[in-house]
Amino acid sequence: MKKFLSMIITLCLLLPLCGCKGGCYESGGEGLDIVTTVFPAFDFAREIAGDKARVCLLVPPGSESHSFEPTAQDILRIQNCDLLICNGGESEVWLEDMLEGMETEIPRLVMLDCVQALEEEVKAGMQVAGQEHDHDHEGHDHEEAEYDEHVWTSPRNAALICQALGETLCAIDPANSDFYAGRTESYCQQLLALDAGFRALAERSGHPTMIFADRFPARYFVEEYGLDYYAAFPGCAEEAEPSARTVAFLIDKVRQEQVPAVFYIEFSNQKMADVICEDTGCQKLLFHCCHNVTRQQLDEGISYLGLMEQNLNTLREALG
């Protein structure tokens, strides 16, 4: 593996015109070179590091991180960075293999390690690997624990991640520690204010049930605010067409729970939500899980805080 990585990096250095281009989206700034794998890590880093760092987002805007494959230029960028911020989990096995093959150890912050990780959950009615889960059974198999990777969907978790990031930046660049500490404190206050808004809404609404006519990457969110949920697929499921049985199960749940809206997530084709809404008369609303955004959104300055504030307004509309 080490020989393979060395060969790829050497080729990319010697043949810059051969097509060895990375999909890295970069923020402004000078100083530290920070590489991130997913949008939440990218946004947290640029908020806390400010103009003291160049922050690179490896997974291209609008793409799916679970199927990401790094280019030779990406490998080189990681090898030379001052800090790598990654998510951790099954979708980043490619990164673990890459790091094991490098000669030097890369300073790294793993978001999954900053919070209390939750195991993947398969709820009643979910369709997994082309088969529906037993509608009378909830929970998951315990043969091998797999952890839900979407830790940032809880603003409180986001604050824990940012606190760890601030401490890491202070250790790497002590000359600017006051700068990082101040920005960390300010940003975490905004995250906790957002958390308070979600918490108050959940309590006022009686901790209702959310129904996702889509994949479900919001486990940490619903756990944080005491919400129940049903969904068509687990959060890391591959794209698939739902069975008639799955759609019928969710339609029944909409009627039983008397929910006023069903949710879909970013980059969804929304077809299942359309079917359920047509059959039940409920609303169709976007719950943005902040997993990734489009290039246009990045260029326009979209942020984690902005997306989660949109979610708060959406839930106010849905839950009252």
Return the CATH number at 84. 3.40.50.1980
* Same-domain pairing of 131 and 253: yes
Pairwise CA distance, residues 40 & 112, whole Å: 12
Number of domains in the chain: 2
Token pair of 140, please? 């998951």
φ, ψ for residue 34, nearest 5 deg: -110, 130
Residue 240 has a pLDDT of: 64
Residue 161 has a pLDDT of: 98
* Same-domain pairing of 47 and 80: yes
Q: What b/e string do you get for 178-206 counting C-beta neighbours within 10 Å, with b at 16 or more?
A: ebbeebbeebbebbeebbebbeebbeeee
* Same-domain pairing of 105 and 132: no
Q: Which residue bears the tokens 């839930």?
A: 315
* Same-domain pairing of 80 and 131: no
Range of the domain at 255: 127-137+206-319
Residue 104 has a pLDDT of: 83
| Dihedral sign computed on CA atoms, order 81, 86, 92, 97 | positive
* Same-domain pairing of 50 and 132: no
Pairwise CA distance, residues 282 & 273, whole Å: 10
| Dihedral sign computed on CA atoms, order 23, 28, 30, 36 | negative
On whether residue 107 sits in a domain, the answer given is yes
Residue 12 has a pLDDT of: 46
Q: List residues bridging with 230 in a β-sheet.
A: 211
Pairwise CA distance, residues 78 & 246, whole Å: 42
Domain endpoint, select from 57, 79, 114: 114
Burial class (CB in 10 A: 0-12, 13-18, 19+), 165: buried
* Same-domain pairing of 52 and 131: no
How do 209-216 and 228-234 pair as beta strands?
Answer: parallel
Answer for the pair 36, 86: CB distance below 8 angstroms, yes or no: yes
* Same-domain pairing of 131 and 265: yes
Residue 4 has a pLDDT of: 46
* Same-domain pairing of 232 and 290: yes
On whether residue 38 sits in a domain, the answer given is yes
On whether residue 133 sits in a domain, the answer given is yes
Pairwise CA distance, residues 131 & 137, whole Å: 14
Residue 238 has a pLDDT of: 66
* Same-domain pairing of 211 and 310: yes
Q: Mean pLDDT per 10-residue run, the chain (320 residues)? A: 45 39 76 96 98 95 79 91 94 85 88 95 81 46 72 98 98 98 98 98 94 94 96 76 92 95 94 96 96 94 97 91
Pairwise CA distance, residues 298 & 291, whole Å: 13
* Same-domain pairing of 131 and 271: yes
